Amino acid sequence: MFNSANWKFQYSLCAISFIYLLPSTAAYTREIINDKPPLQERPPWLQTCKRSNPNENKCFRQLFEGCFPALAAGIPEIGVKSFEPLTIDQVSLSKGSGNLVLSGGFQNLVIRGPSNATVKRANLDFIRRQLNFELELPKLRIRAKYNLKGNILLLPLVGSGDVAMALKNVNTAVRTKISLHNETTTGDEIIHIDEMKVSFQVGAMRIHLKNLFNGNEILAASINSFLNQNGNEVIQELRPDLELGLADIFHGLWNNVFSKMPTKLWLI
């Protein structure tokens, strides 16, 4: 027997999955090509910590958080682009199994709010080769272009247009494995992130997809309303894929930053 409630929930997961499943297709780390030279003098925003114990008196947490204003503005002299807003050029999606067959992607993602993060914890451990941190973000606002084509429970779903989303009270934990390398041009020691895992919790979500069903406003309004009413359930369902994708994206971003910040400038 056809279960309308179950169909609606599966429908909602499919409709939003092209936003949250975007990372699952990436099986590589997005390293950033950057030929700018690393810093050779310590800028005012870069604090120092003891190499023997960088976490003493929460020093590394304060150092880490102190970098955020500079990262938000961007540091063009070393090729680090602004983190505020955070931009991602393109993400592709290809998923096909069972009741869900979707293909498409996103372009020109613009994410506002990362620079408002508060660092709750940050720890650097050279013996265990770990760099871990936890962030609280009060709100993230995301705008992008999307395109989607596929079938849900044998029903066609086609849409392309703008997507807007707001995430509130985002708590993120990042766990990494690191190694020490010599920078290729200067030979200075730098930190390199070898592995990264990301986990997160979201307090609330709002989303609006424009031009669903080729502009059928009645169907689009119904789906958008249902997605917002069931946002927490949707996020829980899609969490593993999003966490993998965040690790893929931020792995490259943070390696780009650390490659331009020799340890001689901030570990004494």
CATH code (residue 240): 3.15.10.30
Least confident of 69-73, 227-231, 241-245: 241-245
Q: What is the mean pLDDT of residues 59-68?
A: 94
Which two structure tokens, joined as six digits, stand for 152? 């849900």
33 falls within a domain: no
More confident residue, 103 or 48: 48
- pLDDT above 90: residue 124: yes
Domain encompassing residue 208: 56-265
4 falls within a domain: no
Q: What is the pLDDT of residues 140-189, one digit of tens each?
A: 999 999 887 776 555 566 788 999 989 999 999 999 999 999 988 889 99
Least confident of 3-12, 19-28, 223-232, 244-253: 19-28
32 falls within a domain: no
CB 106 within 8 A of CB 146: yes
248 falls within a domain: yes
Q: What is the pLDDT of residues 2-36, one digit of tens each?
A: 344 444 444 444 433 333 333 433 344 667 888 88
DSSP 231-263: HHHHHHHHHHHHHHHHHHHHHHHHHHHHHTS-G
Burial 61-99 (b: 16+ CB within 10 A, else e): bebbbebbebbbeebeebbbebbbbbebeebebebeeee
pLDDT value of residue 155: 56
179 falls within a domain: yes
119 falls within a domain: yes
48 falls within a domain: no
C-alpha 258/C-alpha 254 separation (Å) is 6
Q: What is the pLDDT of residues 66-120, one digit of tens each?
A: 998 999 899 998 899 888 898 877 766 665 555 556 677 778 889 899 888 899 9
Least confident of 45-54, 200-209, 256-265: 200-209
C-alpha 120/C-alpha 200 separation (Å) is 14
pLDDT value of residue 164: 93
C-alpha 95/C-alpha 241 separation (Å) is 12
194 falls within a domain: yes
Please count the structural domains in the chain: 1
